[in-house]
Each structure stands twice: as structure tokens, then as C-alpha cells.
Structure 1
Amino acid sequence: MRIFSVTPIHVGPGELARRQARYRSLVPAGVTLDLVDIGPEAPRALDTDDDVRASEAAVMAAFRAAPAGYDVLMPDCVLDPGVADLAGELPIVGILQLSLGWQVIRGRKVGLVARNDAIADELRARAAVYGWSDHVDGVQVLGLGVEAIADHNQWTAGLEAALDRFGEGVSTVINGCSAVEVKDDRGISVVDPTALALRLLAAGGVR
């Protein structure tokens, strides 16, 4: 299976290489993923609703111009930019669509964490578009800058604080960023949505 992906924000060569290496470490056997930068006209961070909308438009344009030979398109973003709009037009799937959908079919209510308020609002909106709002038991905001995406220690510290704010009924939390390494050994299970999405794609194949 060949997957084509684009970043939701414009990133430099170092960050693009970091993200591509992360995908190489996560893809199951028989799966390859090629990641490209969205380009300098896209936002450099998703800090406002305007950033989110501009990112979505750029991702949709990139996918409509995607090279041939790929089985599936998947944005490098847990906000699933363009996924609902392009469904039926292109062979596209979303990281949130797959990772949250897996929790839904198992009958789970989950929490989510987001870097900032704009991302938290969009996560709630995406869950509503998919019809899964009732399965989301809150979104906690980490209050971090875009640099924290590549800073494991900073993100983990923010995540630890956020986990304490979830109610006792939350046993599963989806990490609201596709490009972050998360390892947590607490009682709450923290889902790496990118890793889960890739496993589900590999297990189900492409029809």
C-alpha cells in the first residue's frame, strides 16, 4: 500500500525529515508513506481559526494535484483537513477519522488533548461532522506553542498536566497531534492516532 501525505503547515527541511522518519518507524510491513511539505504559502502554525481554514484549503489543493500511483491520500494532521469534503472524489482517509472511529465502534468514550484552543475547537467540529460527538468526553488544551510538536519533553509535560484534568470516566485519550511521539505509562491509555491509523489501514487494506 502506498500513501501520499502532505503537512498541514509549512515546515523546514529538518522538521519534514523528522516527520518522514517518524512515519518510516510507524508504517507496518507492506506500507509506504511519502510526505511532502505543503509549501510556503500555507500557515506555519495552526494558532487561529483562519490558520485552520487556510491549511484546509492548501491541503485540498495539494491532494487534487497529487501524483498518480498512490492507493490512498492521508493528511499529516489529526484535524483531517479536507477529508470530509474530498470523500467520494478522491481515495482519502483521515487520522482522526480512523483513530476515533476505532474507539467508536468499540463503544468507548474518549478524551482528546489539543495544543491550543483553535485546534481543540476544530477537533470538536470534526467529531461532529463524523457524527461522533457523543463519544468525545472533553478536549483538554495543553497551551503549547508550535515548537512543542518536535519537543518530546515539553509536549509530555503538557500532556501529563492535561491528563489530570479528565474525569474518572475517561480511560482513553487521543493525542491531538499527528506528529508527536507519546509514551505514557499512567492508568489512562494515551493513543498515538497516527500509529493507530496506519495499523488500521494495513489491517484493512484498500478497497
Structure 2
Amino acid sequence: MRLLAFTPIDVDDAELRRRQERYDQLAPETVSVELRNIGAVAPSALDTEEEIRASEKVLAEAFRTVDPTGFDGFLPDCVLDPCAEQADSFARPLYGLSRLTASFFLSQGLHVGALARNEAIAAELDSRLASYDIIADPTKVLGLDVADIADSQAWGRAVAGRAASMTCDVAINACSAVELTDPPVRPLVVDPTAIALQLLGLQSRWVTSG
């Protein structure tokens, strides 16, 4: 399975390489991800609802107009699963990191929650999960800046502090590009990118074997 991903924000070359390397490391052998920067037409951070809407608009246009040749699916590089409601207008299936992750753990009878960088992302994630009819705890806010996405130590400290007050079984670390270091196990804090890619790997093996 070959997936095309776009970043939800405009990133520099170093950050694009870091994110691509994460996909290369996390993807199972039956899945590959090509990540492209969405470019300066998108905001450089998702700090407000307006920036989230602007990012989603640009991503929808990118997926709708890109040449899909050679790709089996599209993957927004974002836990907010942008464009999910527009998936029928794209030439390839659109996969959502949070939908795959939350649905998997809920199917095991586990209680799900999430941790997000700021209030705007938390509110959007709650809305997105509700649109899937996924019952989850309100997302906890970490109070971090966009620069902290690449700072695994700062992110890890914030996650450990907020997770201690959560009562869910599984907490989604609501950023597609964060490298979790020593994540809490009560609740179990999970990387949605890693979980989603593993699930897509299972799908790819089933399709190939069939």
C-alpha cells in the first residue's frame, strides 16, 4: 500500500525530513508513505479555529487536484483527520489517523481520551471524534507551542503531567509528528500515527493475500 500524505501546516525542509523519517520508521513493510509539504498557502501553525479551517481547505484542494497515479490512498498528516467529510470527492480513499486509532481501541472495549497541544486543536478533535459517533473523554490541553512538536522532551513532560489526571484506558497523543519518549502506561498514551500505520499494514496484507 502506497500512501500520499500532506502536512497540515507549512514546514521547513528540516521538519519535512524529520516527519518523513518518522513515517519511514513507523510504516510496516507493506506500507509506504510519501509526505509532501502543503506549502505557504497553508498556515504555519494550528493555533486557532480559523487556522484549522484554512488548513483543511488547502488540504482538500491538494487531495482533490493531485495526480493519484501510483498511490493507493491519501493520508492527512494530522490527527484532526481534515477533509474526512469530503472523502467521496477524492480519487483515492482517505484514511484518518484518529478514526483508525480510536475505533481500534474502542473495539477492544477500552475507554478512550486524548491529549492535544492547544485549546483549538482539542475542540476540533472532540468535534471530529463525535462526528464518527465515537464516545471519548474531552481532550486534555497540554498548553504547548508548535515548536514543541519537534521537542520530544518538552512534549513528554507535558504529557506525563496531564495524563496523571485522566481516567480513560487509552489516551491518544494528538499530534501526528511527535516522537513519544517513555509515554505513560496508565492511561496508555499512544502514538496515532504508529497505530494507524500498523492497522493499514494489516489491511494491505489481507488485500494482497486475497
Q: Is the shorter-chain TM-score for this pair beyond 0.5, marking a shared fold?
A: yes
Report the counterpart of residue 178 of structure 1 in structure 2: 176
Q: TM-score, normalised by structure 2?
A: 0.92
Equivalence map 1:153-192=2 (5 Å): 153-167=153-167, 170-183=168-181, 184-192=183-191
Q: Is the 8 A contact 1:77 1:178 kept in 2?
A: yes
- The answer on 1:117 being equivalent to 2:116 is no
Greater shift, 113-122 or 176-185, is seen at 176-185
CA distance in 2, matches of 1:65, 1:35: 16
4+ runs deviating over 4 angstroms: none
Greater shift, 197-206 or 47-56, is seen at 197-206
Q: CA RMSD in A?
A: 1.4
Q: TM-score, normalised by structure 1?
A: 0.94
Equivalence map 1:1-207=2 (5 Å): 1-67=1-67, 68-87=69-88, 89=90, 90-132=92-134, 134=135, 136-167=136-167, 170-183=168-181, 184-205=183-204
CA distance in 1, matches of 2:139, 2:130: 13
> 3-state SS of the aligned residue for 2:121?
helix
CA distance in 2, matches of 1:66, 1:41: 15
> 3-state SS of the aligned residue for 1:44?
coil
- Show CA shifts across 1:24-77 (max 9, x none): 000101211100000101000000000000000011111112222100101000
Amino acid corresponding to residue 80 of structure 1 in structure 2: D
Amino acid corresponding to residue 114 of structure 1 in structure 2: A
Amino acid corresponding to residue 72 of structure 1 in structure 2: G
Amino acid corresponding to residue 149 of structure 1 in structure 2: I
Greater shift, 141-150 or 178-187, is seen at 178-187
Q: Is the 8 A contact 1:140 1:165 kept in 2?
A: no
CA distance in 1, matches of 2:202, 2:85: 22
Q: Is the 8 A contact 2:163 2:184 kept in 1?
A: no
> 3-state SS of the aligned residue for 2:76?
coil
In structure 1, runs of 5+ residues without a counterpart are none
How many equivalent pairs are there? 203
Structure 1 residue 185: Cα displacement: 4.7
Amino acid corresponding to residue 173 of structure 2 in structure 1: N
Amino acid corresponding to residue 187 of structure 2 in structure 1: I
Greater shift, 158-167 or 5-14, is seen at 158-167
Q: Is the 8 A contact 1:149 1:179 kept in 2?
A: yes
CA distance in 1, matches of 2:160, 2:63: 35
> 3-state SS of the aligned residue for 2:138?
strand
CA distance in 2, matches of 1:204, 1:31: 10
